[in-house]
């Protein structure tokens, strides 16, 4: 069975765990702490980032978008539509959700690893502006939630879960449609919701 090196709080790990569950691909989940730089992680991803998928035939796959593409191939297109326009839509939504997470992690790491006196607030403000702009765009037209979803919707759910985990009370105002979207997602796909960042 493939192994996934992951962390429960990571939105990228969450996305991959949800995507694998949705695609019906079984994984042995191996929690890792990237701060400790464990040998198994560094051996399989020199960047020391998670998630990393270790396949049964000895391949190591990173980052999360490469993993969702791999999961899509082995599940015969369970995560991305075959139709080129619809596939592009799913890929774009995944990229947007991941991009929001990139900005959020810049926030988290700036505060976690810099002494308070040298935290660069203009940098944090710029990252938050990107997050707000992207959330406003999604709020204006939330993605549909059909019976068959894509890696795009899954990535967005992981992203909103990360916002709930690390930025509660800071993003919800003006984004009621996205809050309702999350609730509907969790009602329709409870087995995925349990893999949201925590």
Based on the fold, state whether residues 18 and 55 are members of the same structural domain: yes
Domain match, 54 and 103 both: no
Cα pseudo-dihedral 37, 38, 41, 42, rounded to 10? 60
Residue 90 pLDDT exceeds 90: yes
Residues 65 and 89 in one domain: no
Q: CATH number of the domain that 102 lies in? A: 1.20.1050.10
Query: Does the pLDDT of residue 162 top 90, yes or no?
Result: yes
Are both 52 and 116 inside the same structural domain?
Answer: no
Q: Are residues 12 and 91 in the same domain?
A: no
Same domain? For 50 and 111 the reply is no
Q: Is the pLDDT of residue 112 over 90?
A: no
Range of the domain at 20: 3-74
Q: Are residues 91 and 110 in the same domain?
A: yes
Which class for 180: exposed (0-12), middle (13-18), buried (19 or more C-beta within 10 A)? exposed
Rounded CA separation 46/38 (Å): 11
Mean pLDDT for 133-156 is 97
> How far apart (Å, rounded) are the C-alpha atoms in residues 80 and 83?
9
In a shared domain, residues 64 and 102: no
Q: Specify whether the CB–CB gap between 163 and 171 falls below 8 A.
A: yes
Q: What angle do CA 164, 169, 174 make, to 5 degrees?
A: 95
Element (H, E) at 54: strand 52-54
Q: Which of 46, 74, 102 finishes a domain?
A: 74
C-beta of residue 79 within 8 angstroms of C-beta of residue 137: no
Question: Is residue 79 one of the residues assigned to a domain?
Answer: no
Q: Are residues 54 and 119 in the same domain?
A: no
Is 198 inside any structural domain?
Answer: no
Model pTM score: 0.96
Which SS3 state, helix, strand or coil, does residue 70 take?
helix
Segment 186-193 shows an average pLDDT of 97
Percent of the chain residues topping a pLDDT of 90: 95
Residue whose entry in the numeric block shows the structure tokens 């990360």? 162
Overall domain count for the chain: 2
Angle (CA) 36 116 170, round 5°:
90
Report yes or no: 161 and 195 within 8 Å, Cβ to Cβ: no
* Phi, psi values for residue 48, rounded to 5°: 70, 25
64-87 pLDDT, tens digit each: 999 999 999 999 999 999 999 999
Mean pLDDT of the chain: 97
The pLDDT tens digits of the residues spanning 115-141 come to: 888 989 999 999 999 999 999 999 999
Shortest CA distance to 16 belongs to which of 187, 198, 196? 196
Q: Give the tens place of pLDDT for each residue, 9-53.
A: 999 999 999 999 999 999 999 999 999 999 999 999 999 999 999
pLDDT at residue 117, rounded to an integer: 85
Together in a domain, 32 and 50 = yes
Token pair listed for 111: 């505060």
Spatial separation of the C-alpha atoms in residues 149 and 139, rounded to whole Å: 18
């Amino acid at each position: 069975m493939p192994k996934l090196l992951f962390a429960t709080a990571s939105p990228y790990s969450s996305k991959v765990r949800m995507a694998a569950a949705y695609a019906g691909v079984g994984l042995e989940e191996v929690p890792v702490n990237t701060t400790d730089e464990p040998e198994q992680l560094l051996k399989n991803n020199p960047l020391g980032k998670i998630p990393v998928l270790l396949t049964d035939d000895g391949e190591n796959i990173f980052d999360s978008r490469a993993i969702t593409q791999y999961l899509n191939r082995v599940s015969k297109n369970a995560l991305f539509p075959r139709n080129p326009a619809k596939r592009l839509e799913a890929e774009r939504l995944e990229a947007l959700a991941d991009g929001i997470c990139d900005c959020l992690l810049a926030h988290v790491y700036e505060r976690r690893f810099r002494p308070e006196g040298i935290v660069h607030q203009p940098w944090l403000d710029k990252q938050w502006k990107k997050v707000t702009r992207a959330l406003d765009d999604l709020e204006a037209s939330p993605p549909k939630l059909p019976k068959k979803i894509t890696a795009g919707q899954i990535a967005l759910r992981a992203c909103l879960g990360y916002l709930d985990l690390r930025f509660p009370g800071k993003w919800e105002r003006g984004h009621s449609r996205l809050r309702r979207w999350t609730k509907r997602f969790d009602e329709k796909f409870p087995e995925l919701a349990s893999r949201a960042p925590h």
